Structure 1
Amino acid sequence: MFSERYHSIQDGHVLISAIQASRFAKEVAGDFNPIHNPDARRFCVPGDLLFALLVDRFGLSRKMTFHFRSLLGENVPLAFHEDDDGVVRVRDGNNKVYVEMERSGELTHDAKVIDNLTRSYVAASGKNFPHTLKPLLESEGVMFNPDRPMIMYQSMSLDLDTLDAPYPELEMHKAELKPEGKRGNVSLDYRVVSAGDPVGLVSKKLVVSGLREYDPQAMEAVVEEFYRLKNRSWN
């Protein structure tokens, strides 16, 4: 599984270094959010990496829901455990929960199936900004703090018709932003398509914090910095 290079195991616990998390964000997701930079003051591990590790360990089910409860910093020893209520939780040594995973239906541990779906999902997720979020923010006349952008996962769910679809791809179906004061609630719905046929749905909910009036020049500077970092990473 490709996620092996983005974490380590120590004393039976999963550890994710800032460098590993940043590499995953850039190399797999194409996500250049500054919050995933190793030297970021408020650094956090990408939620997509935790999703990848969970599916790798527990398999892919036709119906899955992930709730992201807390931001995860670097090198926190994590335990992945299925509790008596059937919910898989990712916790640290202080019993703080970072992710909860619920699942039902047919299950597969086929590495190729899991790898294909995970890569497709993470690649689509990495396009949240600027491809999807910038037009949404602009249409609502709001934006995040350009000096401290905070776009956080709240939840993600997938509902697959089959686990046998070769090379699934995610296509954007619907995107919506609802500003509520300084907070923006974002809903993103994708169709999962394989060989041109729909084979499932994926829904994501994000929170954009620190909303303020939209400033075209400030947003353009954020976008330019995004592509500068992206171009630098591949040169």
Structure 2
Amino acid sequence: MLLESYYTKSDNVIRVSAEQASRFAKTQCHDFNPIHDPENKRFCVPGDLLFSIALNEYGISESMSFTFTNMIGDNIGVNFPEDKGENIVITNENGRSVLEITRQGKVSRDPELIESLIKNYVVFSGQNFPTLLMPLMKKHGVMFNPARPLVMYNSMSFEFDKLPQSRPLKVELADSVFEVKPKRADNFLHFDIADGQQTIGRGIKKLVIAGLKPYEHESITAFSDAYEARRTAFK
């Protein structure tokens, strides 16, 4: 299975090592955000991996929303409770909420469909930087601090017109909205979910970009070039 090498599970407690998390980010998402590097002091497990594990545990509902409430560090125990209906709270080993899920409608537990949605969504999600964020930051005249980049996955939601059959799905950007606030920006990525040429669902991913500063083309371009160099070297 797609996810089996990226976490361990005992009873309902899941643990993700820093190495597993980093490998998932780079291999499955093509995401080289330094916050997912094992040696980073602010290391956290990618939200896309938690999202993927949740789909694996609970299936795909016609409508689902995911809110990330706290970061998870190296090998921290995460409790995925047994199916609790429409509202599910994922907690860490200290009982603090880390992911809150709301869902409605019919549920599919088809492993091929779940894997297809995971694969296609996390690749879309991994385009955050530099593909999507660089032109938006330039347009709005702001950027994160290259010395302490902090781009956080806040939430995502999706809904299907009806649950698809088991087949490859495509996840594609529909629109991007960038809202600048004091010292932070919210980036809303609207996406479509397609079955062949037909759009069968849609969703929104929200990112929070913290520590904003005025846009400096040379420094953010140097950061982007270094980021792409890491991606190329990994390939």
TM band (smaller chain): over 0.9
Kindly, what percent of the aligned residue pairs are identical?
36
> Where has structure 1 moved over 2 Å in runs of 4 or more?
82-86, 162-166
When the two structures are aligned, how many residues end up with a matched partner?
A: 234
Cα RMSD of the aligned pairs, angstroms, is 1.4
> What is the letter of the counterpart of residue 5 of structure 2?
R
> What is the letter of the counterpart of residue 186 of structure 2?
N
Distance 1:84 1:20, change over 3 A: closer
Question: What SS is found at the alignment partner of 1:29?
Answer: coil
> What is the letter of the counterpart of residue 24 of structure 2?
F
Distance in 2 (CA, whole Å) between partners of 1:118 and 1:191 is: 14
> 1:82 Cα shift?
5.3
8 Å contact kept, 1:113–1:163: no
Distance 1:34 1:23, change over 3 A: same
Q: Which residue of 1 aligns with 2:174?
A: 173
> What is the letter of the counterpart of residue 101 of structure 1?
I
> What is the letter of the counterpart of residue 212 of structure 1?
K
Which runs of structure 2 are paired with 1:203-222 in the superposition (5 Å)? 203-222=204-223
TM-score (norm 1): 0.96
Distance 1:83 1:192, change over 3 A: closer
Q: Which residue of 1 aligns with 2:56?
A: 56
Question: What SS is found at the alignment partner of 2:3?
Answer: helix
Which runs of structure 2 are paired with 1:1-235 in the superposition (5 Å)? 1-10=1-10, 12-81=12-81, 86-165=86-165, 166-234=167-235
> What is the letter of the counterpart of residue 171 of structure 2?
L
Question: What SS is found at the alignment partner of 1:4?
Answer: coil
> What is the letter of the counterpart of residue 47 of structure 2?
G
TM-score (norm 2): 0.96
Distance 1:172 1:12, change over 3 A: closer
Distance in 2 (CA, whole Å) between partners of 1:141 and 1:94 is: 41
8 Å contact kept, 1:130–1:223: yes
Question: What SS is found at the alignment partner of 1:56?
Answer: helix
> 1:191 Cα shift?
1.0
8 Å contact kept, 1:108–1:163: yes
> 1:201 Cα shift?
0.2
CA displacement, residues 165-206 of structure 1 (integer Å, 9 cap, x when unaligned) = 521111111101111111101111011112111111010111
Distance 1:89 1:194, change over 3 A: same
Question: What SS is found at the alignment partner of 1:3?
Answer: coil
8 Å contact kept, 2:120–2:169: yes
Distance in 1 (CA, whole Å) between partners of 2:85 and 2:120 is: 30
Distance in 2 (CA, whole Å) between partners of 1:184 and 1:80 is: 31
CA displacement, residues 205-229 of structure 1 (integer Å, 9 cap, x when unaligned) = 1100000000111111111111111
Question: What SS is found at the alignment partner of 1:218?
Answer: helix
Distance in 2 (CA, whole Å) between partners of 1:84 and 1:114 is: 19
> 1:86 Cα shift?
3.6
Please, which runs of 5 or more residues in structure 2 have no aligned partner? none
Question: What SS is found at the alignment partner of 1:5?
Answer: coil
